Amino acid sequence: MKLLSFCSGCGALDYGMNKHVNAEIVLKCELDKTIRETIKHHYPNVVIKNDIMQLSVESIQKECKLSMKDELICVGGTPCPSFSVAGKRKSLDDPRGACLPKFLNLSIGLNARYIILENVRGLLSAKIMGKEPGSVMKIIVDQLEKAGYKVSYQLYDAKYFGAGTSRNRVILTAVKDDRALSFLKPTHGINDVPFVTLRNVLSTLPNDLKHNHTQFTAKRLTFFKMLKAGQHWRHLPKDQIPLAVTPGTLKTALDGKGGQTGLYRRLWWDRPSPTLLCTPTMNTTSLCHPDEHRPLSVEEYKLIQGYSLNYVIKGSIAKQYKQLGNCVPIKLSEAIGKVIKAHMEKDKNYKPCYNYVRCSRYKYKNYYTN
C-alpha cells in the first residue's frame, strides 16, 4: 500500500492513520512554505509538492514511480474556510473550496483503493449556489459512487476517541469495489469510559520544561489574574466587567447563547480542552492555562493534539501554533487507520458498524452506500 497525502498540513492525519495502515508514504502536497519545511524534516525522501491545483494524474504517477500493481490510499485534509459555518461559506466557488473536487478527481484518476477526506462540520450543510443545504456533500458522494466507490461518512468529535481535546470533523471514507467501510467506533464518553481531560494530558509534562508561548496584552492579563480554572468573564467582579469587555462585545456576549465563555476563558482541568485554534490569544476564543497567567504553550498544543514533545514543528512560535491549531487530533486519525487496517487484512473479527452512534454534540445525518 502506498499513501499519497494532499493538503497535508504538518501531518497529523497521515501520521495517526499510518500507525495502523503502515503504508509507504510517497507524496505530500502542501501550499504553505513553512509547513513544507516541517514535512521535509520528517520525510526527507518523499516527493513534496506545493500546489494541488497544478498536479495531474500523469505527473504524480511519473514522479512517484507508481505502477498498475500499486494499491493506493489517497488522503485529503482540504482547506475548510469556504465550508466553515464561521466564514462566508462560498463553498466550491471559493478558490480554497476548489481544492476538494481537485482532490477527488486526482484520487479517482489514480484509481486509489481507499480515499479519505477530512473537513469541518460545515461541509455537511454546505451548498452549491442556488441549491439546498447539503448539496455539496451530495455531489461528492455521487461522484465517488459513479466511479465505483462505496462511501461512508459521519461527524465525529475527537474526544470520543481518546483525544484530550474537542474537535468536530467530518470523516468520509471511500473504498473501491467493496462494501463501505465501517463508521468509526468511539472508545470514550460511552460505556462509562470518561473523556481524557486536560489534566490527564498536561500532567505528563516535565516540571522543568521550558514553555514557548505568546502572551496576552497587559490589560487582558490583569483580568485573567482575577479568574480561577474554569472561569470566564461572567466570574469577574461586576464593576470590572465594563472595564474588561467593550460595549459592543459585551452586548454580543449577553445576547449569545452559552454566554460567550471564550471571553477571558481560563481552561478547566477536568474536561477535555476546547478546540485548539491557530492562536490561543484571540479576544473571544482565549485558551488561557488553568492556573498560570499565560496562554497554552506550543509544547502543550503538541501533547493535546497527540504528538510527542520532540516532534519537530518548523517556523516561528506563531507559525507553530498555526500548524498545530489546524491539526486533526492524532487519536481521531488513528481510529480511521484501525478501520482501514481491519478491512485490508480481512480481519475475521472486523464487523463493520453502520449503526449511528452519536459522537458529537452536533447532530447531523450520517451516510453509507448500501
Q: How many CA atoms lie within 13 A of 125 on its CB side?
A: 9
Q: What ranges make up the beta strands (E) of 243-284?
A: none
> Domain limits of the chain?
2-191+328-368, 198-325
Query: Any idea which residues carry the catalytic annotation?
Result: 80
Q: Report whether 264 contacts 286 (CB < 8 A).
A: yes
Give how far the C-alpha of residue 321 lies from the chain's centroid of Cα atoms, to the nearest Å: 14
pLDDT digits (tens, 9 = 90+) for 223-251: 999 999 999 999 999 999 989 988 877 77
Please write down the HEC assignment for all residues of 188-206: CCCCCCCCCCHHHHHCCCC
Determine what percent of the chain is predicted with pLDDT higher than 70: 93
pLDDT at residue 356, as a whole number: 82
Res 261: pLDDT: 74
> With b meaning 16 or more CB within 10 Å and e meaning fewer, what string describes 56-82?
eeeebeeebebeeebebbbbbbbbbeb
Q: What is the CATH T-level fold of the domain 198-325, as seen in this structure?
A: DNA Methylase; Chain A, domain 2 (3.90.120)
CA atoms within 13 A on the CB side of 229: 11
- Summarised one tens digit per residue, pLDDT across range 248-305 is 777 777 666 555 678 899 999 999 999 999 999 998 889 999 999 999 999 999 999 9
Give the pLDDT band of residue 118 (cuts 50, 70, 90). very high
The helix-helix angle for 298-305 and 317-325 (nearest 10°) equals: 20
For residue 195 the three cell numbers come to 473523556
Measured CA to CA in angstroms, residue 194 lies from 29, 96, 158, 307 at distances of 37, 37, 13, 21
Domain 2-191+328-368 class in CATH: alpha beta
Reduce the DSSP state of residue 73 to 3 states and report it.
strand
Nearest to 329 by CA among 174, 118, 122: 118
Of residues 337 and 129, which shows the higher confidence score? 337
On whether the CB atoms of residues 164 and 197 are closer than 8 A, the answer is yes
* Residue at grid coordinates 489534566: 199
Contact by Cβ (8 Å): 2, 72? yes
Encode pLDDT of 197-209 as tens digits.
999 999 999 999 9
List the Cα angle 272/275/279 in 5-degree steps. Answer: 125
- Helix (H), strand (E) at residue 339: helix 330-344
- Looking at per-residue pLDDT, the higher value among 349 and 100 belongs to 100
Helix-strand-coil percent breakdown of the chain, rounded to 5? 35, 15, 50
Q: What is the pLDDT of residue 259?
A: 55
Whether residue 211 is predicted with pLDDT greater than 50 in this model: the reply is yes
283 versus 172: the higher-pLDDT residue is 172
Say if residue 89's pLDDT is above 50: no
Question: Residue 152 pairs with which residues in a beta bridge?
Answer: 173, 368
Predicted TM-score (pTM) of the model is 0.93
Cβ neighbours, 10 Å, residue 194? 10
Between CA 62 and CA 171 the distance in angstroms is 29
